[in-house]
Structure 1
């Protein structure tokens, strides 16, 4: 694929807030035309304004990503309005913060429908259109928690683990077919998004991402980079993601004991749990003035930069410079 996304048609699910909102804005800055899918119209319209401020086209399509018929209809509308879909980014999710024994069957099912099957349905709709053209990229926004489960998020962790297995299976099928359609996963760290203020929680204190916390713009830049390099299996974002995934490979039982001891406290602030309506059944941004944006409540504790990701993003030019310097040194030394 070209390293430029200018003029491309991009679909972003979960685009009304959080990572999806930041991703939509990032593609708009890069000159792509962006279709915005989520349940809440107010957030989607605000996201569209963000994209249009960048000089790009935006298309708002209120969609329940857990309903395949709605997802497929949205994909058809995108191709009718913006043209063939070049890139599809799956971001939308919901979650429950509670010990497993306190989650109801309906809640667990719905988290799975959105956070796992929503990605499956988005991928289905994208492939139905990309495969006949033999071109396109699908970017799955994953999580370090898809490689290492933690307490109090069993439904979310299960969905993200399932996403990894599903995507690996699909990738091998595309390779078998020698397809020029590519799928990749971006494994995210803890990100400062609004979800921690509206997630369904049965915790006594306000939920929080496990520190260190990163701003959603880092995640968005990683998704854009992945869309430009979709042949790669996956990308790890943030030093904490690297540490978590490598630690799980090397010492999973040590992590079991560590998370059993620290995982409850590290996912809660000192403040009491918010008295707000959770978004698991209804969107929180479907009323006038209910735009929640990309950032959550942890700006003062979140990192705006990730040295790990900067090095990953610039690995090729750094290697080229290092190689050039080595060649010069060899040439000088041989005189």
Structure 2
């Protein structure tokens, strides 16, 4: 993707959280943005937020679990903004609580939005990109795409499914020799409003598992991935790297560790509000007109940079510098 030319970019879940921050980041490039989310109020606020930066903004209210609605949105985007260059799948919902306390219809709903929503977005994007032999799809993932944790069984299951689905699609594109690229960005814990609007069956208020990063860190990684989609996936944050490596080499040990610490790590000391509203079935911004924005209530704990992501972006340069240093050491040893 040529960063000097405006692109048509679609961001799902764009009204708040990582999606909102990602829309801002693409808008700062002067791209044309299509913003997809359920809540019309949040979408209007997001459009106003980025309107002065983006080349064009098109907010569309859509539930990503409804394929016909997603297909209709994609058609409208291309009619009004032009051919889609980048599609970012980000929309999700979740439920906090033990699996046994979750109702079947709630588990199904999380899966429909968080997993099938990505499937639907990928399908409508591919149908258009393949015919033009160009385009990039970015799947916003999580360390939980590889490592399940307690109290988030539906969300972890959906993220695992997205990972496997994306790998299959990527292989099929390579089999066809298609230049369309699909990449995935695995995120750490992020300071977003989801911890105040997600359905929770926990006795205390939900929180991200520390260390926590600001959504702008995630957004920068998503934009970079869209610019460099040839790489199959990106890991953001040292906690993501540590979690995935620990799960690869010592999964049983990690099971026991998370069994001991995973409950407390996802809850604050504050008691949960009884009867608190949740966004599982409908968006909350349309009920009270609130704009949730990109950030949640953990600003005082959240990190604004990810040195690991910088290293990931410059891994080739670092490898060359390492090789050069090795040659210099070897040459000095020969001289001595």
TM-score bin, normalised by smaller chain? over 0.9
SS at match of 2:269: strand
Report the count of equivalent residues.
Answer: 334
Cα shift readout 1:113-167 (whole Å, capped 9, x = no counterpart): 0000000000001011111111100000011011000000000000000000000
In 1: Cα distance, 2:52 partner to 2:143 partner: 33
In 1: Cα distance, 2:240 partner to 2:132 partner: 35
Contact 2:14 2:36 in 1 (8 A): yes
Judging changes above 3 Å, is the alpha-carbon distance between structure 1 residues 129 and 5 closer, same or farther for their aligned structure 2 residues? farther
Report deviation, 1:50.
Answer: 2.3
Report deviation, 1:4.
Answer: 1.2
Aligned to 1:7: 6
In 1: Cα distance, 2:62 partner to 2:242 partner: 36
Does 2:273 align with 1:274? yes
Judging changes above 3 Å, is the alpha-carbon distance between structure 1 residues 168 and 55 closer, same or farther for their aligned structure 2 residues? closer
Report deviation, 1:274.
Answer: 3.4
Gaps of 5+ in 1: none
SS at match of 1:263: helix
Contact 1:17 1:293 in 2 (8 A): yes
Report deviation, 1:316.
Answer: 4.2
Report deviation, 1:315.
Answer: 3.1
- Within a 5 Å distance, the mapping from 1:72-221 to structure 2 comes to 72-221=71-220
Contact 2:33 2:54 in 1 (8 A): no
Report deviation, 1:48.
Answer: 1.2
Report deviation, 1:286.
Answer: 1.7
Report deviation, 1:287.
Answer: 4.5
Report deviation, 1:183.
Answer: 0.4
12-21 vs 281-290, which moves further: 281-290
Cα shift readout 1:169-219 (whole Å, capped 9, x = no counterpart): 000000000001110110000000000001000000000000000000000
Q: Normalization by structure 2: what TM-score?
A: 0.94
Aligned to 2:306: 306
Contact 1:42 1:287 in 2 (8 A): no
* Displacement over 6 Å in runs of 4+: 321-335
Q: Normalization by structure 1: what TM-score?
A: 0.95
In 2: Cα distance, 1:59 partner to 1:302 partner: 30
Report deviation, 1:266.
Answer: 0.4
Report deviation, 1:52.
Answer: 1.6
Gaps of 5+ in 2: none
Report deviation, 1:285.
Answer: 1.5
Report deviation, 1:273.
Answer: 1.1
Report deviation, 1:289.
Answer: 3.8
- Within a 5 Å distance, the mapping from 1:234-313 to structure 2 comes to 234-275=233-274, 276-287=276-287, 289-313=289-313
Cα shift readout 1:207-260 (whole Å, capped 9, x = no counterpart): 000000000000000000110111111110000000011100000000000000
Contact 1:42 1:288 in 2 (8 A): no
